Amino acid sequence: MKRLLKYLAGYKKETVLAPLFKLLEAGFELLVPLVMASIIDRGIANRDMGHIGRMGACLLALAAVGLAASITAQYFAARAAVGFSAKLRQALFDHIQGLSFTSMDKAGTSTMITRMTSDINQVQSGINMVLRLFLRSPVIVFGSMIMAFTIDVKSAWIFVVAIPLLAIVVFGIMVWTMPLYKKVQAGLDRVLGLTRENLTGVRVIRAFHREREEEARFREDTGALAASQIFVGKISAVMNPVTYVIVNGAVIALIYTGAVQVNIGALSQGEVVAIINYMSQILVELVKLANLIITITKALACADRVANVFEITDPGSPEAVPESREEASKGIGAPFLEFDHVSLTYEGAGDETLHDIHFKVERGETVGIIGGTGSGKTSLVNLIPGFYPVTEGAVRLEGRDIRRIPEAELRGRIGVVPQKAVLFKGTIRGNLQWGRPDATEEEMWRALELAQAAEIVEGKEGALDAEVAQNGRNLSGGQRQRLTIARALVRRPEILILDDSASALDYATDAKLRAALRGIEGETTTFIVSQRASTIRHADKILVLEDGRAAGIGTHEELLAGCEVYQEIYYSQYPQERPGSAKAQAAEGGVGNGGR
């Protein structure tokens, strides 16, 4: 929790005034039993109606001032707690946005969502309750004991015995339940992860008729969460009856002691009532304190989980490290982009995903990347923007290791179209401006034309201002892919990465897109990842991957002549061109394609 208190720095005034006004309210509350004792001993005993009226007005004044102080304290406490949670949530979001893919994969999406929502809400409630009650309750408890000593020392010793017993119960349960609340929040993570998975894959679940199995999984996880919550709830619930037993036992002892003292004339009836009222105040405050302790325990457990996210670091992420003169001189005459014997092993994985990849790319070239499923195509292109750190070798841009290029500079030169087309809720214009916020309407239309998406936008009501649903659900798969390509093209990147981003397009649209990309003005270096040989056959060079290794690199003709892996891929898609096939023999014999 200490690590998060810096987000309260802007609310020093509120964090001081809230408890001060609560202490003011507590002070007035401690005077109430004395006023009641005066009413009994002087007003009722002497039948002095004037005194009863004056003391009654005093009670009303104490109530009014106490209410005003309580409302003021609540205002300042709420202002500090809500402001704290807003700053903390923003800082946590900014930190998560800066994490590498490795850290995000390791932490998990569901737990990040829980910590940004449920956990921070619990911490906010804890801050609010602490500012309001954490000082007030102890002041009432110990203040009541002190006030009891001013009335009768012998009776007050009952307070001295009761209060430590109550403290042992309250703080013992707090220490016991704190780790259990952490376990409950971890269970909530699992339930949220399962819920997210089921909602995302609802079509697959229904297609395979797995509703019953998923319902059973959900019941099992929610049942385990409920069992954990019930268990810790039972422990926390013990606090109230135990405190009631201790306090009511003390009240019985006070009544007995008070009766003896009244009989011998050492105490008046009003003073006995005042002492019992002070014990009743302690009872009420300890009930509040018990609930406060439960809230604080939850808040501390959640604060620890939130603080753990801030401890996640990315030692391998791109950082702006000063370059030496020797390193800077390497950029002179160096290739535009170079994979220098690169290997990649994902954190927690046993085997290498990429092994000893070495090739060079000149500015303006188009590089096709092809290979079987799981061969490492996406992993390879993810190294260029520094999404994952290489484990061996280096990726160099104009002779500079990308780990030494500031992240904003590096990614500002790259346009990425990911494997899964992702659009955000808003408008088409807003989504395109993710590529470049200051893009003109003319530049947006140019990008849409290159991406073969202009007809999509023209057919929408509002054109560029047409609404896009969350995740682009009101668009087809092909439409989403073309709009994500346009989004990358708007920024006019030096390096354009198309990660199997035309898989939902028909062959005719795919061909038009490739032709348009070849006609882009300037020297854009393009990486095209695809399963289709037709998509990458006209690239300046093609990299063939097999099990994370480079099986071959060259032009389409060179690979077709000397790379077995590429031959297998190509001829599996175009069997009619395989040597020895009827069509190939007819072509060699000079017979046209239309002959039979």
Q: How far apart are CA 512 and CA 508, in angstroms?
A: 6
Residue located via tokens 């003005």: 521
Confidence class of residue 585 from pLDDT cuts 50, 70 and 90? low
What does the pLDDT read at residue 72? 92
The percent of residues in the chain predicted with pLDDT above 90, rounded, is 12
Q: Which residue has the higher pLDDT, 164 or 342?
A: 342
Q: How far apart are CA 318 and CA 84, in angstroms?
A: 31
Domain 2-310 has CATH 1.20.1560.10: yes
pLDDT (tens digit, 9 = 90+) per residue, 551-569? 999 999 999 888 899 999 8
Domain 335-553 has CATH 3.40.50.150: no
Q: Fill in the DSSP letter of residue 470.
A: G
Q: How far apart are CA 292 and CA 302, in angstroms?
A: 15
pLDDT (tens digit, 9 = 90+) per residue, 108-148? 777 788 888 888 998 998 888 888 887 787 888 788 778 87
Chain-wide mean pLDDT for the chain? 82
In this predicted structure, the answer to whether residue 590 has a pLDDT above a threshold of 70 is no
- What are 165's two structure tokens? 């017993």
Residue (of 147, 386, 461) closest to 274 by Cα position:
147
Q: How far apart are CA 421 and CA 435, in angstroms?
A: 14
Domain ranges of the chain: 2-310, 335-553
What does the pLDDT read at residue 337? 92
Find the mean pLDDT for residues 29-55.
80
Could you tell me if 123 and 299 are in contact, meaning their C-beta atoms sit under 8 angstroms apart? yes
Instruction: Work out whether the CA dihedral 155, 160, 162, 166 comes out positive or negative.
Output: positive
Q: How far apart are CA 320 and CA 386, in angstroms?
A: 13
Q: How far apart are CA 202 and CA 184, in angstroms?
A: 27
